[in-house]
Amino acid sequence: MKVLVTGAGGNLARVAVPALAAAGHTLRLLDFRPIDTAHDLLQGDLRNPDDLARAVDDVDAVVHAAALHGIHRGHWSPRDFWAINLDGTFNLYQRRLPPRSPRWCWLAAWPSTAEACSRHRMPGRGHRGQPDPAR
């Protein structure tokens, strides 16, 4: 099976990639930074539709491990947390809707995203990303 692993340079993927390879899967890795790997690597961004189109092309399954989390606070803005963890995940999921929806394994950093966004009110956003009626 051909498997896309997002966040390939992160801690979760460092465990998932060797396990998937040992199980005989063909891997395509996606990360925003260059990483040293023998697998098919696409350097890209979940926020970029063109990168996602290339990443999901001809894959049978997705292991979505890309996320900003606790160690990224202070280096990335709350808007980046939102855009990568929520919008990026939504973008990836949309790309994999019919005609061919693959298997999904979603490894997420929701608590970190929620904390980052609640500590710094997202401009123009209310509950669950909806437009803020108070604004």
135 assigned to some structural domain: no
CATH of the domain at 64: 3.40.50.720
Structural domain boundaries enclosing 52: 2-129
- Tens of pLDDT, residue by residue over 50-62, are 998 899 988 888 8
This prediction's pTM: 0.72
Please count the CA atoms within 13 angstroms of the CA of 73 that sit on its side-chain side. 13
Number of domains in the chain: 1
Q: Average pLDDT, whole number, for the chain?
A: 75
134 assigned to some structural domain: no
Low-confidence ranges of the chain (pLDDT < 50): 97-98, 110-135
19 assigned to some structural domain: yes
35 assigned to some structural domain: yes
63 assigned to some structural domain: yes
31 assigned to some structural domain: yes
47 assigned to some structural domain: yes
User: Strands 2-6 and 103-106, how do they pair?
Assistant: unpaired
Is the torsion defined by CA of 45, 46, 50, 51 positive or negative?
A: positive
**Whole-number Å distance between alpha carbons of 69 and 7:** 12
**Whole-number Å distance between alpha carbons of 120 and 29:** 32
- Tens of pLDDT, residue by residue over 80-91, are 877 777 788 888
